A and B are shown apart, each in its own frame.
Chain A
């Protein structure tokens, strides 16, 4: 946190000055570790073993916050009889199909819920907002079936089998999974063997301190120190916060990392309370906003799903897919949110009669994520590509695949502040040197549009705590520089001009689009007007034309419109609430009058849980919102995350649904049963509870189960995506070391906003690898010398930084070395500083829930000296692969050979 979010870290330092204990768990000793009370070095990729053992510690020693757990979590809910845990089935949960590598999740449902789960299928869980989407049932591949890659593996191609099996089904939004709350059976004593509490306890029983030593390389003493600190600091009077930078999302079990942390926070009563929670520290100014208003294939604004062909052919089907009409909570109004979006986009063309132009929405047929897209580029299925403030030639995993993909395009638009490597790949990509690309043979037309910086345009960023903050335009952009708002607005105008005379149905969505934004004297569209549309407004009635004050004002009959329901309120009272700047010192510590946080300007989600079931604060010290008997409403420091006048004693009548079905002590109002989920009966694709699986590439055999890696991970067995052998596989010893990648304070991601600035470039001028003195001796590496790091994809070179900050991990009788690689540099001629890109080392293997790549850990070899140049580099890498016996099958069998039911 000190490393990547120094200014946010001031609050940690302040807490520490007031007596807080700061524990830092990280493979390397960072600037955060330097000022932490405890640094716990951990093997990259082993967090579930570590966190799971904390869960076990809490449960085994009765250290959970019993009143909270009983009232606010699903601990008492009974799980169906058909459920089988990983311990019973050799490392997989019940419902696993080794042929497809997918789960039928029906057996994970609550008792009495099975039937419903079977009909709606899995849906996404709201915990993660880092690209939330879900795959579910099998679905045929999309147009891939007609490609030249049919039937097996072709050079550079993906096997048809894997492509169709990852062809996703339920691409649903970030809403909570649907369950029928009325059928749920409970055992309030938490003693029933099939209640969630007992299931959880059994599941984590084998996650012991000894296992932590074996899997993570952490001593039992240090592990227990962490357990004691975390549990002692949780309860009525105290709360503990977990903070992760989004490296936790860069794993094939990423969502389950975060789930394990969520389980700890629910057991300890640290959710919905001040000083608690799980904080995702995100690395881009508006990466939260770009998920809320998603430039993501599977989502529409406000975590509504993009419709899936064959399943969401009508508005009714889509709404039903988001939420069961009989479930609890605010997702039950999903249809309203969709209608308002459609009205915002297609205005008068969206009517009750045509399902509000629902048919104008294009349909998904599978995984159309960024890695699927690059593979489609390589297959020449994509003509044109827009890169908008993003540098995949450096920043994406398997960056070589990205660069090669760019060379297959017909045309490429790069909009950036600087001439990033993704704009200049045609003349200075590393593949030019190796001979894999020749400039004259690259037929891609490249358009570089210089972009306006943040001070040259007005607009809002949504920061990492869901708060929108407006930045005002200070100066005009120089030269040809232009805001993305202006560019895409003009592009839309020009496209509409070109289609204006079209009678083709397919052009109706373009021509009927509401695109008549007010413009200034330069023809630039007003960002303020766009924000107002996002907020929404009344179309009819006496308030016609006025901005909506809250999403509760939205109607599903077309009389209101709003582009992103969770942002409704940001323009309440016709005021840009995101631009509010009442100084922090002039308001309460919650600072509700600075910016605007979604939803409803609420700063802590689920804050009903900050009060006990009777509505009283758990303690005066931790009072946040509470029920005021005199006023008969919820009051406090924040906007209560609850119906304002629903008393704690409220119990829903028989048959109630939606918001009315939420009891007065159901704080988790977006969850289908109003409770925090220790166990996820649906919504996840890789298990209802987290289990430790090894990374896709790991020199370590899974110490917990015979199943090596996540059996549902998305694999891409292609000649251009070969994987290192892992664990006990022959050849694993060729890549004996673990590497991890990370950022440095002085740079920003792939460097597009830092490597061009002298003041930042000089602070970290060269790519380096961090190794321990022990590894340096083992491999003959010299401080400040060069090292070559090799994976099945490629080899890169880095200056060597020998440092005690990297420590060899003792895991039982073996020592595992880790190598640290900051990933800011890339090969090119335009930046002030350049170097090999750490991301070139990775292959592409994805988490099954959200299709995010595993790019925080993999295996490698390291040797002293610089890498070979030119074509010799390819031979060098190929020689390693030969020694390791790598084929496209290597590492790509989801079910580990030798386990029960494995197909090979």
Chain B
């Protein structure tokens, strides 16, 4: 029987979180309630305060060139080593429930690219969606599973954090992430911190240890980004979806809130107004390391042989 076969709820250590949550499985005995983000995109105003507040707090450097991307008002593109919060802007010829816009004109529905429609009569409904994306802090985190150095670890809050001083830049975690969140930072090491090291959202681990709200959630002007105990956030999100449905916003749905999904539920989940793909999110993310345990057991014997050498290296390194 492989560890993976034990499945959820056994309480045994494994790649599937047990009933007590992922922090328990990671050896945290005295642990607070699992923390997370609920990002309600229906009230996001796309101000990007989260992007800046995150960079300010975490010392994340400027990302890439100063270049207009043409993706509506998004010029940071995607989550990456130097963008830990990313706001997507989606312009759509669809109605937003409960909203009327003068952009609408009677006519046939059209889904052409910008510039393809010439006649005002062809204008249809319009809505502008904004959504602040972030690391999902998966219950079953593939990045953590594949990390050979222990640089990635599960915190007592149930979040997944990189230790830049431990990471050796092997990059295994990068393809493992089903969301494409984690990346190795590139750039000139003379001016940029943590170059060559895997980087992503820490859910402001240092702030959490002092009972402070993560920087992005604290800054968010409209409380689109809500921080708190995951259980409570999930209940709040359910109520919010119900309220929006009542108001006629039938597109409202949650993403990443289900503990039975492919990553065991996300620690950072979302209320979306369209399919996840619209926002650049994978529709059905699956932890990429579902079969890893048995593979690792086969590799275990070889690994044991390396332990002694590594131990010598560790002590030697510390002067």
Contacts and interface: CB of A to CB of B under 8 A. Distances in A.
The answer on direct contact between A and B (beta carbons under 8 Å) is yes
Interface of A: 2, 6-7, 9-10, 13, 17, 29, 31-41, 218-219, 222, 225, 744-746, 758-766, 768, 773-774, 776-778, 781-784, 799, 801-805, 807-808, 810, 815, 832-833
B120 A222 contact: no
Given A765-B66, A804-B93, A804-B126, A35 B47 contact: no
Interface of B: 43, 45-49, 51-52, 55-56, 61-68, 70, 72-73, 75-76, 91, 93, 98-103, 105, 112-120, 123, 126-130, 221-223
Given A10-B223, A763-B51, A805 B102 contact: no
Contact of A218 (B70, B102, B105): B102
Contacts of B51: 759, 763
9 contacts: A6-B222, A13-B45, A17-B43, A32-B45, A41-B103, A763-B48, A774-B119, A783-B70, A832-B66
A773 B221 contact: no
B44 to A, nearest CB: 8
B102 A219 contact: yes
What are the 9 tightest A-B residue pairs by CB atom distance, in nearest-first order? A765-B66, A758-B62, A802-B114, A766-B68, A6-B47, A2-B45, A34-B128, A41-B102, A784-B70
Given A10-B222, A774-B117, A766 B45 contact: no
Q: Which of B55, B70, B117, B129 has most A Cβ within 10 Å?
A: B70
Contacts of B75: 762-765
A803 B91 contact: yes
B52 A808 contact: no
B47 to A, nearest CB: 4
Contacts of A807: 102-103, 105, 120, 123
B103 A39 contact: yes
Contacts of A803: 72, 91, 114
B120 A777 contact: no
A38 B101 contact: yes
A805 B130 CA distance: 14
Contacts of A746: 48
Nearest to B49: A6
A762 B63 contact: yes
B47 A766 contact: no
Nearest to A755: B66
Contact of A784 (B45, B68, B128): B68
Given A41-B102, A764-B75, A766-B66, A804 B91 contact: yes
B70 A34 contact: no
Given A6-B49, A762-B64, A805-B128, 12 more contacts: A9-B45, A13-B223, A37-B100, A38-B100, A39-B99, A40-B102, A225-B100, A745-B46, A761-B66, A773-B115, A773-B117, A777-B115
B109 to A, nearest CB: 13
B103 A773 contact: no
A773 B52 contact: no
Q: Which of A2, A6, A222 has most B Cβ within 10 Å?
A: A6
Nearest to A28: B103
Contacts of B93: 804
Given A777-B118, A805-B126, A6 B45 contact: yes
Contacts of B67: 765-766
A766 B73 CA distance: 11
Given A6-B47, A10-B221, A773-B114, A39 B62 contact: no
B68 A808 contact: no
Contacts of A222: 100, 102
Contacts of B100: 37-39, 222, 225
Contacts of A40: 102
A441 B133 CA distance: 53
Contacts of B128: 29, 31, 33-34, 805
A815 B122 CA distance: 14
A225 B104 CA distance: 15
Contacts of B101: 29, 33, 38-39, 41
Q: Which of B119, B123, B222 has most A Cβ within 10 Å?
A: B222
B191 to A, nearest CB: 11
A768 B72 CA distance: 11
Contacts of B119: 774
Given A29-B126, A776-B114, A805-B103, A762 B43 contact: no
A37 B66 contact: no
A39 B48 contact: no
B55 A759 contact: yes
B120 A815 contact: yes
Contact of B103 (A29, A781, A833): A29
Contact of B46 (A7, A31, A41, A833): A31
A745 B48 contact: yes
Nearest to B87: A763
A778 to B, nearest CB: 7
Nearest to B65: A765
A804 B102 contact: no
Given A759-B62, A766-B66, A784-B68, A34 B46 contact: yes
Contacts of A41: 101-103
Nearest to A782: B115
